[in-house]
């Protein structure tokens, strides 16, 4: 089956007495054993639940993994994945990471004895310089958030494996519709399902997809031990979102490209970061390893006053955190995602008081452009 069809039919094992087309929402914490010596597929919903399991099989299939586990947020999925790394082991991670992952690494995992180095992983030589005898994991986001730096997944997977380390890729930005890190050599793929997979800003979710049986079994052990699984109703919502993932991504990418091109022509916009612009440093690599560029754009405007004016006066774009939904959103990374990052560090990489991040939605592109045009002119 091709991707669009898999989004609807990857797990057609729905067998119940009513013949439901959709996996029924199985709102039960526990399940009745069929007999004392009889194996039952379900016993307790922290271990497994039919609604969640259906979604997990769909995601495993879309990412080409051995198995997948669904959690109540992206951060839970990342937390569980980090349980596979032990104290005194060393991790090399992208420096331009999702703020929550950065907080987990710096304030939880480090306290528990895991060592970290953060580098621009789009530059493989910088990664090589950080390798230590105890390096056990390379952790990347590509394109990165919010600077859209692009890492060559195949190249970095080869490097990781040559030193006996694992590669984790947070694939939230491009989704499995555009990018399949496991095929390119990654060992674990992570997602905030809250974003494009769910797609409607109505539920939090996270996924861990493991390439091998061995990694899946380890992840399942920590998952059932820690908890934080996705609830049945939320699993239903994310499953429903996935059915339209390809057509949403097509529209979003089309809109984002047109918007990025238009932003480049406006003299009050000083910089446009979009992986799909031919002059973005990572453009050729995304073209090689992915099938689309997605909907995330960052801009630097001419003054902090203009940045604030945009946030105040937009009518169709909404000033809100998060990304990946059908509605277009703008955030102010300085005040939101990067509020915890010291000012000097953040300004060094370009996240200043003129920097805004846009998540493009599925509205009509003319309405989106006119919304900004009215403020910029």
How many CB atoms sit inside 10 A of residue 40's CB?
10
* 98 lies in the site for ligand PLP, by CB under 6 A: yes
Start-to-end CA distance of the chain, whole Å, equals 49
46 is known as an active-site residue: yes
The SS3 call for residue 228 is: coil
Instruction: Find the shortest distance in angstroms from Cβ 366 to ligand PLP.
Output: 28
* 49 lies in the site for ligand PLP, by CB under 6 A: no
Instruction: Find the shortest distance in angstroms from Cβ 70 to ligand PLP.
Output: 11
Tell me which residue of 165, 237, 243, 173 sits closest to 205, measured CA to CA.
237
Using CB under 6 A, pick the residue from 100, 228, 304, 350 that binds ligand PLP: 100
Which residue is listed with tokens 């005040």?
335
Instruction: Find the shortest distance in angstroms from Cβ 338 to ligand PLP.
Output: 13
- To 10 degrees, what angle do helices 365-376 and 304-313 make? 130
167: left (phi over 0), alpha (psi -120 to 50) or beta: beta
195 vs 371, beta carbon nearer ligand PLP: 195
Instruction: Find the shortest distance in angstroms from Cβ 16 to ligand PLP.
Output: 30
222 is known as an active-site residue: no
Instruction: Find the shortest distance in angstroms from Cβ 40 to ligand PLP.
Output: 31
Q: Tell me how far the alpha carbon of residue 8 is from its chain's centroid.
A: 21
Residues 51-80 interacting with ligand PLP (rule: CB under 6 A): 73-75
* 298 lies in the site for ligand PLP, by CB under 6 A: no
Instruction: Find the shortest distance in angstroms from Cβ 101 to ligand PLP.
Output: 6
Going from the C-alpha of 256 to that of each of 245, 266, 298, the distances in angstroms are 16, 16, 11
Rg, Å, the chain Cα set:
21
Site size toward ligand PLP (CB under 6 A) is 15
Among the residues of 10-139, which ranges form H helices? 50-63, 74-82, 99-104, 124-130
Using CB under 6 A, pick the residue from 172, 255, 280, 331 that binds ligand PLP: 172
Using CB under 6 A, pick the residue from 170, 187, 234, 371 that binds ligand PLP: 170
Instruction: Find the shortest distance in angstroms from Cβ 189 to ligand PLP.
Output: 12
Distance, CA of 234 to CA of 204 (rounded, Å): 8
Indicate the DSSP class of residue 108: I
* 141 lies in the site for ligand PLP, by CB under 6 A: yes
Distance, CA of 206 to CA of 239 (rounded, Å): 12
* Sheet of 329-331, strand order: 269-273, 296-301, 355-359, 329-331, 318-319
103 vs 130, beta carbon nearer ligand PLP: 103
Exactly one of 98, 178, 196, 257 is catalytic; name it.
Answer: 98
195 is known as an active-site residue: yes
DSSP 274-324: -TTSTTSTTHHHHHHH-S---SEEEEEES-HHHHHHHHHH-SSSEE-S--S
Residue nearest to ligand PLP (CB): 74
Facing residues of 206 across strands? 71, 192
70 vs 114, beta carbon nearer ligand PLP: 70
* 25 lies in the site for ligand PLP, by CB under 6 A: no
Tell me which residue of 177, 167, 166 sits closest to 58, measured CA to CA.
177
Exactly one of 96, 152, 170, 371 is catalytic; name it.
Answer: 170
Using CB under 6 A, pick the residue from 52, 54, 136, 195 that binds ligand PLP: 195
204 vs 252, beta carbon nearer ligand PLP: 204
How many CB atoms sit inside 10 A of residue 288's CB?
12
* 192 lies in the site for ligand PLP, by CB under 6 A: yes
Options 54-62, 108-116, 175-183, 191-199: segment touching ligand PLP (CB under 6 A) = 191-199
63 vs 170, beta carbon nearer ligand PLP: 170
The SS3 call for residue 247 is: helix
Strand residue runs (E) in 187-254: 188-192, 206-210
42 is known as an active-site residue: no
Exactly one of 52, 53, 195, 211 is catalytic; name it.
Answer: 195
> What is the set of active-site residues?
46, 98, 170, 195
Residues at the interface with ligand PLP (CB under 6 A): 73-75, 98, 100-101, 141, 145, 170, 172, 192, 194-195, 204, 206
């Amino acid at each position: 089956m091709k991707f669009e069809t898999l989004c609807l039919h990857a797990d057609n094992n729905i067998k119940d007495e009513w013949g439901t087309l959709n996996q029924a929402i199985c709102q039960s914490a526990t399940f009745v054993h069929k007999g004392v010596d009889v194996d039952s597929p379900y016993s307790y919903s922290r271990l497994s639940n039919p609604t969640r399991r259906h979604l997990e099989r769909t995601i495993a299939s879309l990412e080409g993994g051995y198995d997948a586990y669904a959690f109540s947020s992206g951060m839970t999925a990342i937390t569980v994945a980090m349980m596979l790394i032990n104290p005194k082991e060393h991790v090399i991670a992208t420096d331009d990471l999702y703020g929550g992952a950065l907080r987990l690494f710096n304030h939880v995992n480090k306290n528990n004895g895991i060592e970290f180095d953060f580098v621009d992983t789009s530059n493989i030589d910088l990664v090589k310089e950080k390798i230590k005898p105890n390096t056990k994991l390379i952790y990347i986001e590509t394109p990165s958030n919010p600077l859209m730096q692009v890492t060559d997944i195949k190249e970095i997977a080869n490097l990781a494996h040559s030193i006996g380390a694992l590669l984790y890729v947070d694939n939230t930005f491009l989704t499995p519709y555009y990018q399949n890190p496991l095929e390119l050599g990654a060992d674990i793929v992570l997602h905030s399902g809250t974003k494009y997979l769910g797609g409607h800003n109505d539920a939090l979710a996270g996924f861990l997809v493991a390439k091998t049986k061995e990694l899946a079994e380890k992840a399942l052990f920590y998952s059932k031990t820690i908890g934080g699984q996705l609830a049945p109703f939320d699993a239903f919502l994310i499953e429903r979102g996935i059915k339209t993932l390809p057509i949403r991504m097509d529209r979003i990418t089309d809109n984002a490209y047109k918007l990025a091109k238009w932003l480049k022509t406006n003299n009050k916009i000083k910089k446009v970061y979009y992986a799909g612009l031919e002059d973005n440093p990572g453009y050729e690599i995304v073209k090689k390893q992915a099938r689309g560029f997605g909907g995330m754009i960052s801009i630097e405007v001419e003054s902090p006053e203009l940045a604030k004016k945009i946030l105040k006066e937009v009518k169709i774009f909404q000033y809100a955190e998060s990304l990946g939904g059908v509605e277009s959103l703008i955030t102010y990374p300085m005040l939101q995602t990067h509020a915890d990052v010291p000012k000097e560090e953040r300004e060094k990489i370009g996240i200043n008081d003129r920097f805004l991040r846009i998540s493009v939605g599925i509205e009509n592109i003319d309405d989106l452009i006119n919304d900004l045009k009215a403020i910029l002119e």
